Structure 1
Amino acid sequence: MNLRDADTGKVLWQGNEDLSIPDKEHEARVPKQILKCRAVSREINFSSTEQMEKFRLQQKVLFKGRCLEEWYFEFGFVIPNSTNTWQSLIEAAPESQMMPANVLNGNILIETSFFDDDLLVSTSKLRLYYV
């Protein structure tokens, strides 16, 4: 997975860890400058042995356990035994609504649920640290 400044295309963070491993809280150390971006482009690479008709994901951004934001993304059809790249655009909240990096640091947990239509396939948890 990588995160880019959507305006410049500059990669701000890249990780190669398999984030699909359930029952593990993963960690990412992301540069705090990402909070200044108007929008962030997220690229996910994933593989599937199974065909999926309506692959989608739901993400919850939790701050100290409380849901701040919830996002929904739809990929659609996935070919069996394929490796895919999925790029999504995430627009930032207005600057007046943004919390500073030192407040967010270690207190943000992104919970991602992967679905094929209504069937839950996997859930991943990623704690963010701003460096």
Structure 2
Amino acid sequence: MPESKVDSNGTSSMLRRLNIGGGSASSASSSTTVRGPPLTMEDLSNRDVITPNDVKRLNAITDDYLCRPESTEYKIDFTKFKIRDMDTGRTLFEIAKPDEDEHIDHEEEDSERDGDSISPRGAGGDAGAQQGGSGAGGGRFVRYHFSPQFLRLKQVGATIEFSIGDKALNKFRMVERHFFKDRLLKEFDFDFGFCMPNSNNSIEHIYEFPALDNATIQQMVESPWETKSDSFYFVDDRLIMHNKAEYCYNSRA
């Protein structure tokens, strides 16, 4: 059974290990205590080592990356991503990595396969993604399109598939923080545990969303791309990767 935790905002999150190549059983992070005063991105930008506790103290979404893409030595390559509604089992969004440097810009369900790239598959054309191209952010930045109904879901499973290079990942962990404008909506903390070198892995994160009032949902629908997230990845409590995303809850925006 997946284990559960509750973050500092009262949002619970669970992690289910599906198929970690050679890895051990995984559990949610054991501690959610944040120690110290709030930090800004400027406070962290010149640090040699950034920890999970550091990013949890950030008082806003970041406006840049806290580490360079070449700064990771672990060669983590995310190859597939799928979101499903846990209540119905319905796949809401699915995408596989295209050829290197190929630009993604898909919005509709059941787009045809073109070469080796696979488009996102939503439900009723209500999901899509636009990934960063060859700029500074590159594949580390994605824009997601969802319908307004997504904001009323209670529990979502997000499956990611990834491979790693010839170095093992010890205490592999992700802290993901979602903001709407200046408001922290939710924070998730997942401990992947140990991943063997040269392994292919599949993990499903179970997100249990907080209930949003109608006024907040309306504001989010009317403010495309102002809902944003930072995903911070750590090995041995040291930041090695930082991805960013923006969200639109009107799939035609």
Is the pair's TM-score, using the shorter chain for normalization, greater than 0.5?
A: yes
**2:152 matches 1:36:** yes
Contact 2:174 2:189 in 1 (8 A): yes
Tell me, in whole angstroms, the C-alpha distance in 2 between the residues paired with 1:17 and 1:103: 30
Aligned partner of 1:51 in structure 2 is 168
Instruction: Give the equivalent residue in structure 2 for 1:64.
Output: 181
- Which has the higher Rg, Structure 1 or Structure 2? 2
**Which of the pair is proportionally richer in strand?**
1
TM-score normalised by the chain length of structure 1: 0.85
Count residues with an aligned counterpart. 130
- Whether contact under 8 Å (2:152, 2:211) holds in the other structure is no
User: In the superposition, relative to structure 1, how do residues 6 and 104 fare at CA in structure 2: closer, same or farther (>3 Å)?
Assistant: farther
**How far 1:95 sits from its partner (Å)?**
4.3
- TM normalised by structure 2 equals 0.47
**Alpha-carbon distance in 2 for matches of 1:93, 1:104:** 19
Distance 1:118 1:74 in 2: 11
Greater RCO structure (CA 8 Å; 6+ sep): 1
How far apart are 1:71 and its partner, in Å? 1.1
Q: Is the CA contact 1:63–1:104 (under 8 Å) kept in the aligned structure 2?
A: no
1:6: Cα distance to partner? 0.6
RMSD between aligned residues: 2.3
1:107 equivalent in structure 2:
226
Q: Equivalent residues in 2 for 1:1-131 (5 A)?
A: 1-17=81-97, 23-24=137-138, 25-49=141-165, 50-96=167-213, 99-100=217-218, 101-103=220-222, 105-130=224-249, 131=251
Q: SS at 1:93's partner residue?
A: coil
Measured after TM superposition, the shift of residue 113 of structure 1 is 0.5
The CA distance in 2 between the partners of 1:124 and 1:60, in whole Å, is 11
Identity of aligned residues (%): 27
Which sections of structure 1, spanning at least 5 residues, go unmatched? none
